[in-house]
Chains A and B, each alone.
Chain A
Amino acid sequence: MNNEKRNQNYLKYVEQKSPKASWFKSLFHAFLIGGAICCFGQMCGDIIKSYFPLMDILLIGTWINVIVITLTILLTAFGVFDKIARFGGAGTIIPISGFANSISSCAIEFKKEGLVFGLGAKMFYIAGPVIANGVAYSLIVGIVYYILQILAVV
């Protein structure tokens, strides 16, 4: 029997049979939660600005990050964040909250194997690949930008 053909047909059949998440609903959830996180960040920024009108805009940005990261880690530790993320999907992963959660959840999970070889080694288990790829891609973008600058396009 031709297994390759059988497998292809089977995978096509499974694809058809598997229930699909409604992408409109997923998009709406992501918009809701992602938007709420961003609005919260903006709100923090505005409050800081109203108390410290002379503060540099970049420094305000840093403060917003610090607040969102701290809150995410607290929510992760209390076991609430994964429930929000299950609802919000990419809406919670794309903002910096997703990054903070990926590191803190690994830290909690692997603490049982010890502080050095557990927590220390596996804290970046999920975030590590993101950082490595982020650096690699920004390098490529940088080179492209440099060439475009030489060619006087930008």
Chain B
Amino acid sequence: MNRKIGDQTFELVSKPTIIGTGCFVGEKEAYGPMGKYFDGYSSDDTLGQDSFEKAERKFFERAINIALRKTRLKPTDIDYMIGGDILNQLVSTNYTARDFQIPLIGVYGACSTMSESLALASGLMSGGVGKTVLCLTGSHFSAAERQYRNPLEFGNQRQTYSQWTATGAGCVILGSGDGPKITKIAFGKVTDYGVSDIANMGAAMAPAAYQVLKAFFIDTKTIPRDYDIIATGDLGKLGSDILRDLLMKDGYYLGQNYMDCGHSLFNSEQKTFQGGSGAGCSAIVFSSYLFEKLKNKEINKMLLVATGALMSTTLNQQGETIPCVAHVVEIMNLKEKVNG
């Protein structure tokens, strides 16, 4: 049986292995500091489609194909996939699943979808539901802009504390065998500290990351220094600074081992202000840079804490504040047991 430790954390008994990943990104992401780790990119952000929503789906498709090729699997080998995106009704995920004919569990966790999918998939697999499971998340700058903000060509100024939705999709395949394993998972509580400015996502989401990280540290009796890397999803520079401050108040010090996927996705010349955001952000950084480090054993113990702002533009206009959530996934390179 999987064991619940403390308030929010679960320790997995049969620990699923990350057997392969794939990601496909846009041009801006490819020219950022993480560029050399990505599997592929396109300078045409429509990928030959006539709308950005259809293009996002193409990004998903390419990420899956790369991951399948790397793991030498066929779509029929996958038991089911868990994934989501930030467009209404999870259109990209649903249509991708239609084209691949893989059973689908669609989840909405806004930008936290990657760690939500990984946590759900590993929990289910540990309970015997599925042997090979695919997790999928992505986002597209232009598609997100038209749903959440203004038309692309509309001339307005971006706030200095705003972030830039990442274009790209990441795909992670879980199975069994050697490799980095998912050992513990913790689902976060929906946290709302009253931020209502939809441009300031970092400030809205930082308390959610704080809530679940603090609970995880208490449950597992660990401190941030016990991990080689603690990676949040898309808090951006401002949000990361806030998270450091919040955890510091409780005596948890986030040092050099802390990184934010969004903040490290772009460099300062790319004018994204606080860095990247969007569901694709943690997905592409985890499936490329972080997975590579795990595979090469440069890091052996890490936490992925993707954060999501569960906002609706309708309710925001009705005066509601932004509820946020974050989920923790602990990934480890376990030492191989010598059989007796």
Interface members, chain B 178-216 (any A CB < 8 Å): 193-195, 200, 203, 207
Cβ distance B188 to chain A, nearest Cβ, rounded Å: 17
CB-based contact B157/A86 at 8 Å: yes
CB-based contact B154/A106 at 8 Å: yes
Cβ distance B247 to chain A, nearest Cβ, rounded Å: 14
Of B146, B193, B238, which contacts A17 at CB under 8 A?
A: B238
User: For B154, B157, B161, B195, which residue has the most chain A Cβ atoms within 10 angstroms?
Assistant: B154
CB-based contact A20/B153 at 8 Å: no
CB-based contact A14/B203 at 8 Å: yes
Question: At the interface, yes or no: B51 with Cβ under 8 Å from chain A?
Answer: yes
CB-based contact A18/B200 at 8 Å: yes
CA distance A26 to B159 in the complex (A): 12
On chain A, the residues within 8 Å of B155 by CB distance are: 76, 81-82, 84-86, 92-93, 98, 101, 105
Closest residue to B152 on the A side, CB-wise? A109
Q: A14-B200, A14-B242, A21-B160 are in contact. Are A101 and B154 (CB under 8 A)?
A: yes
A interface residues, how many (CB within 8 angstroms): 36
Cβ distance B328 to chain A, nearest Cβ, rounded Å: 22
Contact with A along B221-253 (1 / 0, CB 8 A): 000000000000000001001100100000000
CB-based contact B154/A105 at 8 Å: yes
CB-based contact B194/A10 at 8 Å: yes
CB-based contact B156/A85 at 8 Å: yes
CB-based contact A85/B161 at 8 Å: no
Question: At the interface, yes or no: A65 with Cβ under 8 Å from chain B?
Answer: no
CA distance A66 to B153 in the complex (A): 20
CB-based contact A105/B151 at 8 Å: yes
CB-based contact B153/A76 at 8 Å: yes
On chain A, the residues within 8 Å of B146 by CB distance are: 109
Question: At the interface, yes or no: A139 with Cβ under 8 Å from chain B?
Answer: no
On chain A, the residues within 8 Å of B203 by CB distance are: 14, 17-18
CA distance A89 to B146 in the complex (A): 20
User: For A18, A77, A93, which residue has the most chain B Cβ atoms within 10 angstroms?
Assistant: A18
Question: At the interface, yes or no: A142 with Cβ under 8 Å from chain B?
Answer: no
On chain B, the residues within 8 Å of A10 by CB distance are: 193-195, 207
CA distance A85 to B159 in the complex (A): 13
Contact with A along B141-170 (1 / 0, CB 8 A): 000001000111111111111000000000
CA distance A30 to B127 in the complex (A): 61
Question: At the interface, yes or no: B99 with Cβ under 8 Å from chain A?
Answer: no
Interface members, chain B 298-315 (any A CB < 8 Å): none
CB-based contact B51/A112 at 8 Å: yes
CA distance A126 to B146 in the complex (A): 12
Interface members, chain A 96-154 (any B CB < 8 Å): 98, 101-102, 104-106, 108-110, 112, 125-126
Cβ distance B201 to chain A, nearest Cβ, rounded Å: 12
CB-based contact A19/B238 at 8 Å: yes
CA distance A79 to B155 in the complex (A): 10
On chain A, the residues within 8 Å of B153 by CB distance are: 76-77, 79, 81-82, 101, 104-105, 108-109
Question: At the interface, yes or no: A11 with Cβ under 8 Å from chain B?
Answer: yes
CB-based contact B50/A112 at 8 Å: yes
CB-based contact A11/B195 at 8 Å: yes
Closest residue to B154 on the A side, CB-wise? A105
CB-based contact A82/B193 at 8 Å: no
CB-based contact A108/B194 at 8 Å: no
Closest residue to B151 on the A side, CB-wise? A109
Q: A85-B157, A86-B157 are in contact. Are A105 and B152 (CB under 8 A)?
A: yes
CB-based contact A89/B194 at 8 Å: no
CA distance A75 to B106 in the complex (A): 41
CA distance A153 to B229 in the complex (A): 73
Cβ distance A90 to chain B, nearest Cβ, rounded Å: 9
Interface members, chain A 1-24 (any B CB < 8 Å): 6-8, 10-11, 13-14, 17-21
The 8 A-B pairs of least Cβ separation, nearest first, read: A85-B155, A7-B194, A109-B151, A105-B153, A105-B154, A105-B151, A14-B203, A10-B193
Subset of 24 A-B contacts with CB under 8 Å: A6-B193, A10-B194, A11-B195, A14-B203, A18-B160, A18-B200, A18-B203, A19-B161, A20-B160, A21-B159, A76-B153, A81-B153, A82-B153, A101-B154, A104-B153, A105-B150, A105-B151, A106-B154, A108-B152, A109-B152, A109-B153, A110-B151, A125-B151, A126-B151
